[in-house]
A and B are shown apart, each in its own frame.
Chain A
Amino acid sequence: MRRVRIIDTTLRDGSHAMHHQYTPEHVFNICSGLEKAGVYAVEVGHGAGAGGSVLQFGLAKHSDRELLTAAARALSRSKLAVLLVPGLGTMEDLKLAYECGARMVRVAVHCTEVDVGAQHIRLGKELGMEVAAFFMMSHMTTPEALAAQAKMAQGYGADMIYIADSSGAQTPHDMEARVRAVQKEVPNLPIGVHCHNNLGLGVANPLAAVDAGAELIDGALEGWGAGCGNTSTQVVAAVLHKMGIDTGTDWYELVETGERYVRPLINRSLEVTNEALILGYTGIYSSFYLRVLEAAEQYGVSPKLIFEGLGRRKVVGGQEDVILDVALELQRQKEAAVS
């Protein structure tokens, strides 16, 4: 029977949608459910990863240490994972995560910049962690160029390659092409995918990736996450089960955990809104979603125009500060048009 492992990121990507307000209690409860359901790993922390609590993305209510310690108490079979974005998170942050019980790190780099993460990948291996090279915004490069980056990551010691569709901008064909290209270049490393639902393809894309050979899938309970959310963990687990693929999880336990502990936290609709669709279509990083909606309201300008302005400036993950420029510029234009 074919196997696909599931990594749940409700407690990391979902943190964006929560404005980083998770408490140790939320973390403990959700981790307990995920442990019982048997997911391969659980990613915990600020939406921008370890050390990500900064003004640029919003401050976390609780520190990495508090959240990771609560997670470690609940997990034994499932691995505790952290995301680390080099340039933001440091090797000190990674050591602290390890101290708190993290045994997997996903070193997240823009899809063309893996050398920036070489030191962090090596440190993860030195600490004895399982290390994924996690390529963000993978729609912004070609499958071949992505595969070349994956090869470099393998050279630094990465155990697996993650292809992240951070904008939810890819179609199933795009996904498939990237998985195949990476597989061809690094046939020995397992490949995972991380998808968002902005084009309504949050479950279809990972299935296309699995068809092409991916062995790991990211999800979030109830589909909670940046943009209009991630792949729903319980949906993808149930579908894979139905396809006769072993995920090692009890998908019904995932449903229960989502319903009991995540659903009550969700304060807005996770449908594919027009704004999320525009975000996905223009290929803007999903964590910009709520920040753009807020800026649009504050400055009285159209969120659609902000997304388009960001698209023209070719912003990558982390550049949330550009939202203010674009909103101020649109506000000035609007005032000039009125007067």
Chain B
Amino acid sequence: MQKRIKVGILGPGNIGTDLMYKVLRSPLLEMSVMIGIDPTSEGLNRARKEGVVASDQGIDFLVQNPDLAEIVIDATTARAHSEVNAPLLKKLGKIAIDLTPAAVGKMATPMVNMKDCLNEENVNLITCGGQATTPIVYAINQAVPVEYAEVITTVASDSAGPGTRNNIDEYTRTTANALMKLAGVGRAKVMTIFNPAIPQMPMRNTIFCIPKTSDFRIEAVIQAVQEMARKIQEYVPGYQLTVAPVIDRGIITTTVTIEGAGDFLPKYSGNLDIETASAVKMAEMFAEKLLKERGEVA
């Protein structure tokens, strides 16, 4: 039987609960412990119902039971991660996958740079827009060098928590930064729109790229983007290429729409699903590496 790597989740809120159901499905991960600070937490109850160890003692519980997890996914807050969790996890020698905007570790996305991050002890998920669009800009940039990338993200108002809404500039800056650093483009600009329509719309990202040269075939760009979309679909089934790259007046336009898997979070919140699905994918990549090193991969 395939050995699995033990995973703990910090923060049993909506995101943490969605993460748990995804980890429970993974062939490489064992959903080992769910940790919160509120004894009345619905997420902790759900974990117990699934037969998962659950504690309301906070990260101290992990300090006292360090064998419960090798990989810890943090879905708390930026402050909790940078001030408490990240230093403690480092001390315990755990791999940290950080969904908060704390940006303690290296920015990572499974299909762009995760292979270079497997020796890191702490990686962070950038932002939902960053997870959704960095791979596409990266793929386009492989087909034709991109001078400027612009991303317009529209999400359902109901899917955007206060963390994003009250810190929209920080979100914008982090996402643009990821486009430059991970996708390798010279300049980037990000715009975010919240649409309150009911029924709620899935996450939508339009990506404009200005290539450095006109000497390229749009077919090659389309192929690169389609290939990338297929790879992402393996861990985010609701990732759809709505407008395959079209070129008009020298600008390449691509639109991707993301519907969530509906594990716990509502389906329209594809922006959250791509975060939780990417975090679990990253945990699996770490797990695969650890299992291989131990000669335990089937």
Footprint of B on A, CB under 8 Å?
54-56, 86-88, 90-92, 110, 112-113, 115-116, 118-119, 140, 313-319, 321-322, 324-325, 328
A315 CA / B193 CA spacing, docked (Å)? 10
Chain B residues positioned under 8 Å from A113 (CB to CB): 157, 165, 194, 196
* B166–A87 CB distance below 8 A: no
* B196–A112 CB distance below 8 A: yes
Most chain B CB inside 10 Å of its own CB: which residue of A87, A313, A316, A328: A87
Chain A residues positioned under 8 Å from B192 (CB to CB): 87-88
* B195–A319 CB distance below 8 A: yes
* B194–A325 CB distance below 8 A: no
Q: Enumerate B24-54 residues with CB–CB distance to A below 8 Å.
A: none
A316 CA / B156 CA spacing, docked (Å)? 11
Whether B77 sits at the interface, judged by CB under 8 Å, is no
Whether B296 sits at the interface, judged by CB under 8 Å, is no
* B197–A314 CB distance below 8 A: yes
Mark the stretch among B139-147, B167-175, B226-234, B287-295 that contacts chain A. Answer: B167-175
Tell me which of B172, B173, B243, B251 contacts A87 (CB under 8 A).
Answer: B172
* A325–B243 CB distance below 8 A: yes
Closest to A91 in B: B169
Chain B residues positioned under 8 Å from A54 (CB to CB): 150, 189, 191
* A88–B196 CB distance below 8 A: no
A-B contact pairs, 30 of them (CB 8 A): A54-B150, A54-B189, A55-B210, A55-B251, A56-B191, A86-B168, A86-B169, A87-B172, A87-B191, A87-B194, A91-B169, A92-B169, A110-B196, A113-B157, A113-B165, A115-B165, A116-B166, A119-B169, A314-B195, A315-B195, A316-B193, A316-B195, A316-B197, A319-B154, A321-B253, A322-B204, A324-B243, A324-B253, A324-B255, A325-B243
Chain B residues positioned under 8 Å from A328 (CB to CB): 243, 246
Tell me which of B152, B194, B210, B255 contacts A110 (CB under 8 A).
Answer: B194
A112 CA / B160 CA spacing, docked (Å)? 13
* B157–A112 CB distance below 8 A: yes
* A90–B193 CB distance below 8 A: no
Q: Enumerate B43-80 residues with CB–CB distance to A below 8 Å.
A: none
Chain A residues positioned under 8 Å from B169 (CB to CB): 86, 90-92, 119
Chain B residues positioned under 8 Å from A56 (CB to CB): 150, 152, 191, 206, 208
Closest to A48 in B: B191
A315 CA / B206 CA spacing, docked (Å)? 14
| Nearest Cβ on chain B to A186's Cβ, whole angstroms | 21
Whether B265 sits at the interface, judged by CB under 8 Å, is no
Tell me which of A115, A140, A314, A325 contacts B162 (CB under 8 A).
Answer: A115
Chain A residues positioned under 8 Å from B168 (CB to CB): 86-87, 116, 119
| Nearest Cβ on chain B to A140's Cβ, whole angstroms | 8
| Nearest Cβ on chain A to B17's Cβ, whole angstroms | 24
* A88–B191 CB distance below 8 A: yes
Whether B279 sits at the interface, judged by CB under 8 Å, is no
| Nearest Cβ on chain B to A85's Cβ, whole angstroms | 9
A119 CA / B165 CA spacing, docked (Å)? 10
| Nearest Cβ on chain B to A167's Cβ, whole angstroms | 15
A317 CA / B195 CA spacing, docked (Å)? 9
* B189–A87 CB distance below 8 A: no
Question: If A55-B208, A56-B206 touch, does A319 touch B193 (CB 8 Å cutoff)?
Answer: yes
* A116–B208 CB distance below 8 A: no
Whether B242 sits at the interface, judged by CB under 8 Å, is yes
Closest to B191 in A: A88
Chain A residues positioned under 8 Å from B126 (CB to CB): none
* A321–B165 CB distance below 8 A: no
Chain A residues positioned under 8 Å from B111 (CB to CB): none
* A321–B255 CB distance below 8 A: yes
| Nearest Cβ on chain A to B162's Cβ, whole angstroms | 7
Question: If A321-B206, A328-B243 touch, does A55 touch B150 (CB 8 Å cutoff)?
Answer: yes
* B172–A90 CB distance below 8 A: yes
Chain A residues positioned under 8 Å from B172 (CB to CB): 87, 90
Closest to A111 in B: B196
| Nearest Cβ on chain B to A136's Cβ, whole angstroms | 11
| Nearest Cβ on chain A to B215's Cβ, whole angstroms | 21
A319 CA / B152 CA spacing, docked (Å)? 8
Whether B20 sits at the interface, judged by CB under 8 Å, is no
A112 CA / B198 CA spacing, docked (Å)? 13
Question: If A115-B162, A116-B165, A328-B243 touch, does A318 touch B157 (CB 8 Å cutoff)?
Answer: no
Closest to B194 in A: A113
Chain A residues positioned under 8 Å from B206 (CB to CB): 56, 321, 324
Whether B201 sits at the interface, judged by CB under 8 Å, is yes
Tell me which of A119, A319, A324 contacts B167 (CB under 8 A).
Answer: A119
